[in-house]
Amino acid sequence: MTGASPTLPADRLAGFKRALPEWWPVLAGLLLLFVPTFFDLFRGQWASEEQAHGPIILALSLWLMYSRWPDMMERTAGIQASVAGWPLFVIGLLMYVIGRSQHIILFELSSFIWVLAAVLLVKRGGKALRILWFPFFFMLFMIPLPGALVSMLTMPMKMAVSYVVEHVLFWAGYPIARTGVILQIGQYQLLVADACAGLQTFLTLEALGLFYLNLVRHTSALRNIGIAILIIPISFTANVIRVTVLTLITYYFGDAAGQGFLHGFAGMVLFISALTLILSLDRLLQWWVKRRAARATVIQGTPS
């Protein structure tokens, strides 16, 4: 963490007003370029369940930039702008033109990150980009991956989730069987879809965990590394919980309930489960780190 004191809301608002004359042409240009892109995304891919995390990632990224903007402006005052921003800006515009004209959303959405980074380099230099590196990194999670890559990586994940759900519910005494990624419980069959246990779901949960780590900013490297590593099994466990909940909803209330409102409720269960697991493991690691530090203090204080 930096040593900067917290900025009061009134002071922050005043700082934004002072910066407005310098930044409003940049803001107007960005809006002109990318409002059509985001409008199309909200009507298209972001309206689907597989990509519903996109607007959440965008909102959190912009909030992180907003919250750290005054600190960035203060620490980069008087710093010479970086000429490296101009070639980056040209690359970003080329990606935008190709992506927009050829309907390649990977290029079009990536250009938003490139152009933002280029503007920051041109206006405030490389230090500004180092201060705001995490929001830019975090925005990568909102970019849809190529379909071929998603299909290749999703199937093993769905197979693993289906396998665990089958064995957990069979152990609990439910009449369940599995064929590939199709679960049959009682008279119902459920296909474990990409949205339930696919690559995008895992990436969304990874983003949630990384956002939590960046927000709390633990001083303990062991605690940060531990949570970062454990995010992967946490994501898997949360997916298992979601599919298990959907399977039980279908078993007790029928197929219409499993595919209706309660399907969306199971999605909420996914994120609540992941957040609960992250917080619980964070507390456990906090207890372990404190215990380890206390033990080291006792050993150092013991006369030889």
Asked about 217 being catalytic, the answer comes back as no
Residue type, 19: A
Does residue 299 lie within any of the structural domains? no
Q: Which of 242, 283, 291, 295 is catalytic?
A: 242
Q: Which of 68, 100, 196, 223 is catalytic?
A: 196
The pLDDT value recorded for residue 2 is: 42
Tell whether 121 and 166 lie within a shared domain. no
Tell whether 77 and 158 lie within a shared domain. no
Q: 104 lies in which domain range?
A: 9-142
Does residue 274 lie within any of the structural domains? yes
pLDDT band per the 50, 70, 90 thresholds, residue 4:
very low
- Flag whether pLDDT at 7 surpasses 60: no
Tell whether 138 and 161 lie within a shared domain. no
Last residue of a domain, one of 90, 108, 142: 142
Tell whether 188 and 131 lie within a shared domain. no
The pLDDT value recorded for residue 137 is: 92
Tell whether 152 and 133 lie within a shared domain. no
Tell whether 43 and 155 lie within a shared domain. no
**Predicted confidence (pLDDT) per residue in 236-250, tens digit:** 888 888 888 888 988
Query: How many structural domains does the chain have?
Result: 2
Tell whether 109 and 14 lie within a shared domain. yes
Look up the pTM and report it. 0.74
Tell whether 26 and 67 lie within a shared domain. yes
Asked about 68 being catalytic, the answer comes back as no
Tell whether 236 and 137 lie within a shared domain. no
104 versus 291: the higher-pLDDT residue is 104
Tell whether 137 and 152 lie within a shared domain. no
Tell whether 128 and 162 lie within a shared domain. no
pLDDT band per the 50, 70, 90 thresholds, residue 1:
very low
The pLDDT value recorded for residue 178 is: 92
Does residue 92 lie within any of the structural domains? yes
Tell whether 274 and 229 lie within a shared domain. yes
